[in-house]
Amino acid sequence: MTDKYTQFVSRGFGKDIAKRLGLPQPVVLRRHQPGEPLVRGPVLVQGSGGGADELAAALLSWDLDVRRHAVPREKLGAIILVLDEAARPEDLEKPVLAAAASLRDLAANARVVTVSRAAAGAPGPAAAAARQGVDGLLRSLAKELRAGATANGIVLADGAGTTSPSALGALRFFLSGRSAFVDGQFLTVSTTAGQQPADAEKPLAGKVAVVTGAARGIGAAIARTLHRDGATVVVVDIPAAGDHLATVANEVHGTALQLDISREDAGARIIGHAVERHGRLDIVIHNAGITRDKLLANMDQGRWNSVIAVNIAAQLRINEALLASEHFRDAPRIVSVASTSGIAGNRGQTNYAASKGGVIGMVRATAPLLAAHGGSINAVAPGFIETEMTARIPFATREVARRLNSLQQGGRPGDVAEAIAFLASDAAGGISGEVLRVCGQNLVGA
Ligand code: NAI
């Protein structure tokens, strides 16, 4: 599905017309291309204190053009606002207003990233107020940015610092084109676990990953992205999708497993296939999902049960098998696909939203169980993504749904895949039990 409107208003005549009529002006987003620079332009690190200094030093080691003070009229690729030492709301003023003075100098598709501390661990009400204040600040700023620029935040829990491996991993993700459709969101780094990859272009080298529902749509995009990042990929889908599944498996030089994930023995089959064919299992992506929409007043047992069975009960059962398996103990990673419907609700989707809300609850409760093996589990919640599913929405409804986010466009399957690939990597090892929305900061349930 192509978004012809975004292409039309991105340049020349179309751009002029949209501007004059006050129409939405989405731009073509900067997306990751192997070999491309992390950011386009210098990176300004705002904020005083040891955490900001250490972060700036780390960025220099990535060969970025780092500034500690703005250079007048210089176009910036990113602003990093380090607020980890804010102890009272008044402490936000200096660094925030210093960064404000540079906002007009942001280049197209630039990035703003805040780094702050978790309100939950604050030593008192004033510190909690300052920390929670960053939440509102960041989400509002994301709504002010234009031209494909995004703002996202890294939250450090007690024990994590500005240069903890996953703080740097999250920073790299947010700065890069991999996070093109992630806007107004936070990632909490809860531990100092995780490590930077030896090769930034192949962060999943040596890993074996399973992706369910991979015959088409978002699942196929996940398989391609994990393969690009160096993983050996097993693609799983129902037997009826066998032909498409084989095509995807060939494309990613992986193997196909025809399997209905709601079968009792699905977990054992997945582990068995990965270990027999590839010798190990490191990553499981729960992507397979179905919708059977109906208003609750008209809901029947079949629609309710099938959605719960595929979207959440199957994942719970497979996870039980994974947790019990001796083959899933070497820093294992699970990433599950939720949905913004499971967070904000959606008319006609009570069954689907219950299942996707269920995914979020499951992820939070499973995180401590995987921690024992140095593992992690997270969810990604996509918003409006251009797929066969959303192409079937009637034109006017689709056009409205697609513009109702800060980036004024739908995301691509690859955008969801990028977030999943990051959370499946060791760079995200200190992030667990989190839900990352890939929704362009959807105005619904923002
Ligand atoms: P899709 O319908 O294009 O693909 C889903 C795949 O899962 C299909 O290949 C299907 O055969 C497979 N599948 C279904 N039941 C299965 C089962 N029992 N066992 C094995 N495979 C099974 O869907 P799409 O759009 O690619 O969505 C992927 C995931 O993303 C789903 O979990 C969906 O709920 C979620 N999502 C999608 C959004 C969108 O805008 N497209 C938005 C939010 C979430």
Domain boundaries, the chain: 1-28, 31-189, 208-438
- For the segment 365-382, what is each residue's pLDDT rounded down to a tens digit? 999 999 999 999 999 999
DSSP 160: -
Cα(181)–Cα(438) distance, rounded to whole angstroms?
Answer: 6
Element (DSSP H or E) covering residue 301: helix 301-308
Q: In ligand 1, which atom is closest to the CA atom of 337?
A: 32
- The arithmetic mean of pLDDT across residues 291-301, rounded, is 97
Distance 324 CA to ligand 1 centre (A): 26
Cα(176)–Cα(342) distance, rounded to whole angstroms?
Answer: 27
Question: Is the CB of residue 385 below 6 angstroms from any atom belonging to ligand 1?
Answer: yes
Question: Is the CB of residue 414 below 6 angstroms from any atom belonging to ligand 1?
Answer: no
Distance 289 CA to ligand 1 centre (A): 4
CB 235 within 8 A of CB 215: yes
Catalytic residue positions, numbered? 352
Question: Is the CB of residue 267 below 6 angstroms from any atom belonging to ligand 1?
Answer: no
Question: Is the CB of residue 315 below 6 angstroms from any atom belonging to ligand 1?
Answer: no
- For the segment 105-144, what is each residue's pLDDT rounded down to a tens digit? 999 999 999 999 999 989 999 999 999 999 999 999 999 9
Distance 55 CA to ligand 1 centre (A): 39
Question: Is the CB of residue 351 below 6 angstroms from any atom belonging to ligand 1?
Answer: no
For the entire predicted model, the pTM comes to 0.96
Cα(103)–Cα(268) distance, rounded to whole angstroms?
Answer: 52
Cα(274)–Cα(328) distance, rounded to whole angstroms?
Answer: 11
Q: Do domains 31-189 and 208-438 have the same CATH topology?
A: yes
CATH: 3.40.50.720, 3.40.640.10, 1.10.150.120, 1.10.10.60. Which one for 31-189? 3.40.50.720
- For the segment 69-98, what is each residue's pLDDT rounded down to a tens digit? 999 889 999 999 999 999 999 999 999 999
Phi-psi region of 424 (alpha: psi -120 to 50; beta: other; left: phi over 0): alpha
> Which residues have a Cβ under 8 Å from the Cβ of 124 and sit 6 or more positions away?
none
Residue 433 reports pLDDT greater than 90: yes
Q: In ligand 1, which atom is closest to the CA atom of 413?
A: 26
| CA distances for 303 relative to 65, 148, 294, 394, angstroms | 54, 39, 8, 22
Q: In ligand 1, which atom is closest to the CA atom of 382?
A: 43
Q: In ligand 1, which atom is closest to the CA atom of 220?
A: 26
Question: Comparing C-alpha atoms, which of 147, 137, 142, 53 is closest to residue 106?
Answer: 147
Question: 130-144, 247-261, 327-341, 432-446 — which is least confidently predicted?
Answer: 432-446
Residue 446 reports pLDDT greater than 50: no
Residue 1 reports pLDDT greater than 60: no
Percent of the chain exceeding pLDDT 70 equals 97
DSSP 313: I
- Tokens, residue 430: 């200190």
Assign domain 208-438 to a CATH class: alpha beta
Distance 98 CA to ligand 1 centre (A): 44
Question: Is the CB of residue 287 below 6 angstroms from any atom belonging to ligand 1?
Answer: yes
Distance 254 CA to ligand 1 centre (A): 20
Question: Is the CB of residue 310 below 6 angstroms from any atom belonging to ligand 1?
Answer: yes
> What Rg value do the Cα atoms of the chain yield, rounded?
22
Q: How many C-beta neighbours within 10 Å does residue 22 have?
A: 7
Instruction: Return the residue whose CA atom lies nearest to atom 39 of ligand 1.
Output: 385
CB 442 within 8 A of CB 407: no
Mean pLDDT value across the chain: 94
